[in-house]
Amino acid sequence: MNMSVNEALSLAARSRRCKQAFNKLSVQLRDSQYMDQVSPNAIDDQFGRFWSDHSVLKEPRESTYDFISVWAGNIGAFQSEEFRSSLDYRLREASHIRSQIGRTLQFLDSSLAEGLLLLSTRRSMC
């Protein structure tokens, strides 16, 4: 993957990375032998229940993934900085907020990577 240093540190790049990691973890978890040990609402419980009343949402993984994708899309989290509607562009002069969001995305990415590692370690032990 060929990215400039600026792109690698952008909120958009970090947001896309978290979205991919979330999807990968949820797919691997669903396909694992441990799925029967996970509450059907475990993923939604981690994000709160404020959207769980929406009847259009299907299973918990899909509802959480779809909800976060729509929300992040609405705030421009996945768009490149050159677009005025992007989160990067809108926060270009608010470095303290941009830094906090960047740290939060980095923490989320690390947590998702840890979950993937834990799942793969458990798979290799069986």
What are the backbone dihedrals phi and psi of residue 105, each rounded to the nearest 5 degrees, phi first?
-65, -35
Q: Is-above-0.75 flag for pTM?
A: no
54 SS3 class? coil
Asked if residue 13 has pLDDT above 70, the reply is: yes
Distance from C-alpha of 115 to C-alpha of 126, rounded to nearest angstrom: 17
Domain boundaries, the chain: 5-125
Residues 6+ apart with CB under 8 A from 20: none
Name residue 86's amino acid. Answer: S
Average pLDDT over residues 42-48: 51
Of the ranges 5-14, 22-31, 32-41, the best mean pLDDT one: 22-31
Tell which residue, 117, 38, 125, 22, has the closest CA to residue 77: 22
User: Model confidence over 63-91: pLDDT tens digits?
Assistant: 677 777 888 889 999 998 889 999 999 99
Most confident of 41-55, 56-70, 104-118: 104-118
Tokens of 41: 């609402």
